[in-house]
Amino acid sequence: STRALIDTLEADRHLDRNQWIAFFRGRTPEALEYLSTRAREVSRKQFGRDIYTRGLIEFTNYCRNDCYYCGIRCSNAKADRYRLTDQQIMDCCKQGYGLGFRTFVLQGGEDPQLTEDRIACLVTAIKDKYPDCAVTLSIGEWERSSYERFFRAGADRYLLRHETADPEHYRRLHPKGLSPEHRKQCLRELAEIGYQAGTGFMIGSPGQGPEQLAEDMLFIEQLAPQMIGIGPFVPHHDTPFAGERAGTVEETLYCIGALRLMLPQALIPATTALGTMAEDGRERGILAGANVVMPNLSPLGVREKYELYDNKICTGDEAAECRDCLELRMESIGYRLVVSRGDHPQAGKEE
């Protein structure tokens, strides 16, 4: 039964491929309820009722890639493109620091105009000014030498979702030129260099079924990343996937629970996409085993331009409003936002 699989997963932190497939096929409301309860208990043991925050700075929506699901793909001529200046980025950090953020996530498309130098200088500037903060980069695929340079400049963490671990499925989501092997290679390099590395994938993307999800779980088990970001696929109206079905909150919660049981100490956000699919999506994410929230610090004027998918929440709210909103939401379910870098419990303890 699915309940027995959940017990096995909790005890062994491992399922084999066939067990994973059965686990995903066996998703029922009762199974989700049971899994969430187990996963929530594991989170509580690791992190108590503390929720870590990261200030997300979406600093460019230019992108050279053409992922079929993404609203800022290069073929989307309707996307209103922008780049923040260094000064604007530093202002976001200043405001964020005042609001209690101790991690800044620099996220952007694969902007052809971004240089290794600029990123390295930005990271150094932020770390100089805020030595008690962590800097996370989320800027896609670069050469190993560039990842090394960013790390030397002071970057602490790197987010690069693998998107799907099934190569066939990867090719259904991305045009030629992006390769699933290269993606995985980047992730292994990031881990080797010493970053706290984050991967992840969308839930309910076109062509994803129990077999693909099983591959994702096996890949994540092997990579053992410090962070895992997952959220429902949400169609964007100006992409080839405009007419596809969105992923559901329930599927997403089920995966969050599974990830928490497999990697008890992982940093797992309740994502904006989850909050987009349901008003209380992020709260439910926390109650299913997530322990991080990532409110937006981008300037109000550019918020709605970083439109990866339709109906994205928080595009009209000031950073302070989002912080207060999330604080209330977390308190409403008995959790609290903490002023902390929120490192992985084992960060810096290995090697």
Contact 330, 336 (CB under 8 A): yes
Do residues 334 and 328 lie in contact, with contact meaning Cβ atoms separated by under 8 Å?
no
Q: Quote the CA–CA distance of 279 and 85 in Å, as a whole number.
A: 33
Cβ neighbours of 120 (radius 10 Å): 18
Residue 170, judged by CB atoms within 10 A of its CB (0-12, 13-18, 19+), counts as: buried
> What phi and psi values does residue 322 have, to the nearest 5 degrees?
-65, -40
Q: Does 42 bind ligand 5AD (CB under 6 A)?
A: no
Task: Give dist(CA 261, CA 169) in Å, integer.
Answer: 25
Taking the CA of residue 129 as centre, how many other CA atoms within 13 Å lie in the half-sphere pointing to its CB? 20
Among 9, 314, 330, 347, binds ligand FES (CB under 6 A): 314
> Per rule CB under 6 A, is residue 198 in the interface with ligand FES?
no
Write out the H or E segment, with its range, that includes residue 231.
Answer: strand 227-232
63 belongs to the binding site for ligand 5AD (CB under 6 A): no
Contact string 255-294 vs ligand FES (x = CB under 6 A): ----------------------------------------
163 binds ligand 5AD (CB under 6 A): yes
Query: Of the candidates 337, 341, 345, 333, which has an alpha carbon nearest to the alpha carbon of residue 286?
Result: 333
Which residue, 225 or 231, is less far from ligand FES as judged by CB? 231
Report yes or no: 239 and 68 within 8 Å, Cβ to Cβ. Answer: yes
Window contacting ligand 5AD (CB under 6 A); options: 117-125, 230-238, 262-270, 326-334: 230-238
Q: Shortest Cβ distance from residue 7 to ligand 5AD (Å)?
A: 31
Contact pattern from residue 271 through residue 300 relative to ligand 5AD, giving x for each residue in contact according to CB under 6 A and a dash for the rest: --x---------------------------
Site string (310-339) toward ligand 5AD, x via CB under 6 A: ------------------------------
| Residue 321 partner contact from ligand FES, ligand 5AD, none using kind-dependent CB cut-offs of 5 to 8 Å | ligand FES
138 among annotated binding-site residues: yes
63 marked as part of a ligand binding site: yes
| 67 annotated as ligand-binding | yes
Give the Cα separation of 142 and 312 in Å (integer). Answer: 27
Q: Which stretch binds ligand 5AD (CB under 6 A): 83-91, 109-117, 228-236, 280-288?
A: 228-236
Residues contacting residue 157 through CB under 8 Å, at least 6 positions apart: 103, 134, 135, 136, 137, 195, 196, 197, 198, 226, 227
Q: Residue 64 has which token pair?
A: 């050279």
Nearer to ligand 5AD, 38 or 161 (CB): 161
Q: Is 80 in the site for ligand FES (CB under 6 A)?
A: no
304 touches ligand FES (CB under 6 A) = no
The correct pick among 124, 317, 320, 341 for binding ligand FES (CB under 6 A) is: 317
Is 322 one of the binding residues for ligand FES (CB under 6 A)? yes
- Distance in angstroms (rounded) separating the CA atoms of residues 184 and 191: 11
151 or 309: whose CB is closer to ligand 5AD?
309
DSSP state at residue 329:
H
- Among ligand FES, ligand 5AD, none, residue 257 binds (CB under 5-8 Å by kind): none
- Which amino acid, residue 56? L
**Measured between alpha carbons, how far is 209 from 23 in angstroms, rounded to an integer?**
12
325 is in an annotated binding site: no
Judged by CB under 6 A, which of 130, 306, 309, 335 binds ligand 5AD? Answer: 309
Parallel/antiparallel/unpaired status of strands 50-53 and 134-138: unpaired
Q: Could you give the 3-state DSSP secondary structure of residue 150?
A: helix
Whole-angstrom Cα distance, residue 322 to residue 166?
Answer: 36
Is position 327 annotated in a ligand binding site?
Answer: no
Question: Which residues does the annotation place in the binding site?
Answer: 63, 67, 70, 138, 163, 183
Chain contacts with ligand 5AD (rule: CB under 6 A): 69-70, 161, 163, 202, 231, 233-234, 236, 273, 308-309
Chain contacts with ligand FES (rule: CB under 6 A): 295, 314, 317, 321-322, 325-326
Question: Which residues does the annotation place in the binding site for (3R)-3-methyl-D-ornithine?
Answer: 138
